[in-house]
């Protein structure tokens, strides 16, 4: 069983009006409302207009702030949105109380359909990666490329350090944990979080640590924090038991979009040994291995992840350019008197996102 952040490793979930969520320099927040669903969306205005759209999805217990370092480094290539998933960050719980992976995926799909920005370059970390896989599998029209940072896919033999997160799915577990740790202050909880999710927690500056503690305190004050966490953990674990076409590995096989897989060799929650299986499963994949990274490589090594994504974007844009060139050539041939029915039947190399060498 793969996992995401356990209870002692939380970055936390939505905020009362008296304590607004932190907005980094150059970032903006907006609220998007759909029937039964309200999402807080973090954006960073692109360097120039007309850049391709992107959407980044955080993991269990995380929030849109997890993507801020990467958003800053890609502002010259992408027009990025990072929503807080329902019940996390600054987004309230969904009206239907559905925290399953399918429920989260439906929320993302509804947001994408309403945005008018598709197809997008979709990225996800941990549980957000699982959600992104489901979105890409069931709605390929919405996804131009896929970047997965330590995606939470089912493992036959979970790491021992990942087991506590799975236990969150047991009814009443979060209540017992909150009682057992009621004497822990936010500083201790934050240190436990960093020790679990970072390859080297010593990289975190004192300023960033203080901000993380402040955010933890804010989220612990939310009345639905533990409920959203527990139900989402249960939804993740339940998704591992699905078979047939709903199996996460089967859905990974169906993904058409070019895919970048990012794994850290010090990840205590998603085993690095899953990288080989994932690379062989996604039909058009490339693999980025970070030797010293933990579970949240986009926070720990945003420069390395940004370089990997730039290479992916170059690949996708190159395919698009080749497709346009082939299309123009075929159009010219048609006007020269060739059989247009045959021309329309010629496949465009790479148009379906398949056939690239696997990394």
Q: What is the pLDDT of residues 180-231, one digit of tens each?
A: 666 778 898 899 889 999 999 998 999 999 999 998 888 888 999 889 998 9
pLDDT at 56: 98
Select the more confidently predicted residue: 88 or 184. 88
Range from 28-32, 156-160, 239-243, 302-306 carrying the lowest mean pLDDT: 156-160
As a whole number of angstroms, the distance between CA 13 and CA 24 comes to: 17
Alpha carbon distance, N-terminus to C-terminus of the chain: 24
pLDDT at 84: 97
pLDDT at 151: 97
Beta pairing, strands 285-290 & 259-264: parallel
pLDDT at 20: 64
pLDDT at 321: 80
CA distances 218 to 18, 55, 116, 180, Å, are 10, 25, 33, 20
pTM: predicted TM-score of the whole model, two decimal places: 0.82
pLDDT at residue 350 is higher than 70: no
pLDDT at residue 351 is higher than 70: no
Q: What is the mean pLDDT of residues 159-169?
A: 54
pLDDT at 347: 28
DSSP secondary structure string, 68-85? HHHHHHTTTT-EEEEEPP
pLDDT at 226: 86
Q: Tell me what the pLDDT averaged over the chain comes to.
A: 82
pLDDT at residue 64 is higher than 80: yes
pLDDT at residue 31 is higher than 70: yes
Q: What would the pLDDT profile of 248-277 be if each residue is shown by its tens digit?
A: 999 999 999 999 999 999 999 999 999 999
Apex CA 227: angle with CA 192 and CA 67, to 5°?
Answer: 55
- CA 264 vs. chain centroid, Å, equals 15
Give the relative orientation of helices 186-197 and 206-220 as an angle to the nearest 10 degrees. Answer: 110
Q: What is the mean pLDDT of residues 68-90?
A: 96
pLDDT at 201: 94
């Amino acid at each position: 069983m793969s996992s995401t952040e356990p209870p002692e490793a939380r970055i936390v979930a939505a905020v009362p009006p008296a304590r607004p969520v932190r907005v980094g320099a150059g970032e903006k927040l907006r609220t998007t409302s759909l029937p039964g669903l309200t999402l807080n969306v973090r954006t960073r205005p692109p360097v120039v207009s007309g850049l391709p759209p992107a959407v980044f999805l955080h993991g269990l217990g995380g929030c849109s702030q997890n993507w801020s370092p990467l958003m800053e480094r890609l502002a010259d290539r992408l027009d990025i949105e990072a929503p807080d998933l329902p019940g996390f960050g600054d987004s309230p719980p969904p009206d239907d109380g559905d925290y399953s992976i399918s429920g989260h995926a439906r929320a993302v799909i509804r947001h994408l359909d309403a945005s008018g920005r598709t197809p997008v370059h979709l990225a996800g970390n941990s549980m957000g990666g699982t959600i992104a896989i489901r979105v890409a599998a069931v709605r390929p029209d919405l996804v131009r490329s896929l970047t997965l940072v330590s995606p939470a896919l089912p493992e036959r033999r979970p790491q021992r350090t990942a087991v506590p997160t799975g236990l969150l799915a047991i009814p009443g577990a979060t209540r017992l944990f909150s009682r057992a740790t009621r004497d822990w202050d936010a500083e201790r909880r934050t240190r436990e979080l960093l020790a679990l999710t970072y390859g080297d927690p010593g990289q975190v500056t004192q300023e960033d640590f203080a901000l993380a503690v402040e955010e933890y305190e804010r989220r612990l004050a939310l009345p639905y924090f533990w409920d959203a966490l527990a139900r989402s953990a249960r939804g993740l674990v339940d998704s591992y038991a699905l078979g047939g076409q709903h199996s996460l590995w089967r859905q990974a096989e169906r993904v058409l979009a070019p895919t970048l897989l990012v794994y850290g060799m010090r990840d205590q929650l998603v085993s690095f040994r899953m990288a080989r299986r994932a690379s062989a499963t996604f039909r058009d994949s490339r693999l980025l291995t970070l030797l010293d990274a933990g579970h949240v490589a986009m926070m720990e090594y945003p420069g390395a992840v940004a370089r990997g994504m730039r290479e992916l974007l170059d690949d996708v844009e190159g395919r698009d350019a080749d497709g346009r060139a082939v299309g123009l050539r075929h159009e010219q041939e048609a006007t020269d008197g060739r059989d247009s029915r045959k021309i329309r039947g010629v496949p465009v190399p790479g148009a379906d996102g398949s056939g690239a060498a696997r990394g």
